[in-house]
Amino acid sequence: MEQKRAFKYRFYPTDEQKSLLARTFGCVRVVYNWALRQKTDAFYNEQKRLYYKDLSQMLTALKQQEEYVWLNEVSSVPLQQTVRFLDKAFINFFEGRAKYPTFKKKRNQQSATYTSNAFTWRDGVLTLAKMSAPLTIVWSRPLPKHAVPSSVTVSKDSTDRYFISILVEEDSAALPTTPKTVGADLGLKSYVILSTGETIGNPKFFSTDEKKLAKAQRRHAKKKKGSKNRNKARLKVAKIHARIADRRRDFQHKLSTRLIRENQTICVESLAVKNMVKNPNLRKAISDVGWSEFVNQLEYKAAWYGRTLVKIDKWYPSSKRCFDCGHILDSLALDVRHWTCPKCKVHHDRDINASKNIHVAGLAIFNACGEAVRPGAVKTKPGTSPRSRKPRS
């Protein structure tokens, strides 16, 4: 069975390529913002909905106008693709999966997508439309054998680093089955507590660089707006943010890959971080730990490698339930890290007890027997939204 998979690499463009990419990014941004304005005005002023076909025809007419003739200097494919992405963004909005689309900004990450008719791929050499020389890509890992890219996305982040994401179709890479299963409790004091008793500490990447970031932000705020020094200061702030995000992402990828390779079934809690960050005392720590991204990585890697990820119901009392006898406490404060069951007198570590309960509940959901779980606790599929639980300190 074939599946689509994207491989992301860093590349180093020449000055000529940087110039063309800058124009392409600018044209993509202008077309996206123009299309968003057209859709919004048509709906509010005329109660009319514009779709991809309508905007595509309007874009063709727009490129023929004298004041927008410069749109023809770049490949037309990324411009059409950004209109398609906007249409998809509105579908996600109307189906409740995303917020209303917003205008793109020059200082944020820039990207452009090329389909197969806008680039050439020969013997591992990639050349984009309107470019005379191929891209200098750092192949940090090989593409699958005989892989032919169906589309590529070029992007530049806020620190002026260039990346290319290559979408290919590859055969299913299912790992050999294993009898191992595990439950994972996500927390703040410890990043993950496994039902095996293993505890993985929280690296706290943001806290490590918080003072350095605050200092760089203060210096940036004092620079004169529009000056070169202010832009240099902005770049320093962006690099610190990128360092934090890169280290966190690297940690999450290594940990999620390890859990997927070692276990056939992984049981986790449902999370709704958007609600949890409303806690004024924990919002910074919750944002730093990155639970949503970690669970998302477990989801798509489980689909890639033939594993199973099970999310238990958000109301399941994993921390308050005694793993030995099943007794459930009436309440359990966040600062209580150990407790003794009043019924069977067993002393519990809060997090290890929760991970064991998550493990048992998840397997019961997967096997559809043996455990009393609230309705709504289901085996999750890649793409479903994380749900909520109370945060742990």
Say whether both 109 and 207 belong to one domain.
Answer: no
Per the structure block, which two tokens stand in for 376? 């709504």
Instruction: Centre a 10 Å sphere on the Cβ of residue 347 and count the other Cβ atoms it contains.
Output: 9
Write down which residue in 171, 201, 225 finishes a domain.
171
Distance CA 270, CA 313 (A): 6
Say whether both 166 and 288 belong to one domain.
Answer: no
Lookup result for tokens 């991970």: 355
Of 77-81, 122-126, 333-337, the poorest mean pLDDT is in 333-337
- In this structure, is residue 135 part of a structural domain? yes
Per-residue pLDDT, averaged over 113-122, amounts to 95
- Residues 6+ positions from 165 with CB-CB distance below 8 Å: 6, 7, 8, 9, 152, 153, 155
| Cα–Cα distance list, 72 to 21, 23, 148 (Å) | 14, 11, 28
Per-residue pLDDT, averaged over 203-215, amounts to 94
Q: What is the pLDDT of residues 16-33, one digit of tens each?
A: 999 999 999 999 999 999
- In this structure, is residue 388 part of a structural domain? no
Say whether both 79 and 16 belong to one domain.
Answer: yes
The pLDDT mean for the chain works out to: 89
| Cα–Cα distance list, 207 to 128, 251, 288 (Å) | 41, 15, 8
Say whether both 260 and 359 belong to one domain.
Answer: yes
Say whether both 104 and 24 belong to one domain.
Answer: yes
The residue ranking higher by pLDDT, 111 or 270, is 111
Say whether both 156 and 253 belong to one domain.
Answer: no
Say whether both 155 and 115 belong to one domain.
Answer: yes
Write down which residue in 171, 205, 235 finishes a domain.
171
- pTM score, two decimals? 0.84
Is residue 393 within 8 Å of 335, Cβ to Cβ?
Answer: yes
Say whether both 166 and 186 belong to one domain.
Answer: no
Per-residue pLDDT, averaged over 277-294, amounts to 89
Write down which residue in 171, 200, 230 finishes a domain.
171
Distance CA 308, CA 311 (A): 10
Is residue 246 within 8 Å of 265, Cβ to Cβ?
Answer: no
Give the pLDDT of residue 380. Answer: 41
Handedness of CA 231, 232, 233, 236 (dihedral sign): positive
Say whether both 153 and 196 belong to one domain.
Answer: no
Q: What is the pLDDT of residues 27-55, one digit of tens each?
A: 999 999 999 999 999 999 988 999 999 99
Residue 278's pLDDT band (boundaries 50, 70, 90)?
Answer: confident
Give the pLDDT of residue 1. Answer: 64
Is residue 174 within 8 Å of 257, Cβ to Cβ?
Answer: no
Per the structure block, which two tokens stand in for 190? 């410890």
Give the pLDDT of residue 366. Answer: 85
- In this structure, is residue 383 part of a structural domain? no
Catalytic residue annotation: 185, 269, 351
Q: What percent of the chain has pLDDT over 90?
A: 65
- In this structure, is residue 176 part of a structural domain? no
Domain that holds residue 44: 2-171
- In this structure, is residue 380 part of a structural domain? no
Say whether both 185 and 163 belong to one domain.
Answer: no
Say whether both 191 and 49 belong to one domain.
Answer: no
Count how many domains the chain has. Answer: 2
Give the pLDDT of residue 379. Answer: 45
- In this structure, is residue 389 part of a structural domain? no
Say whether both 100 and 199 belong to one domain.
Answer: no
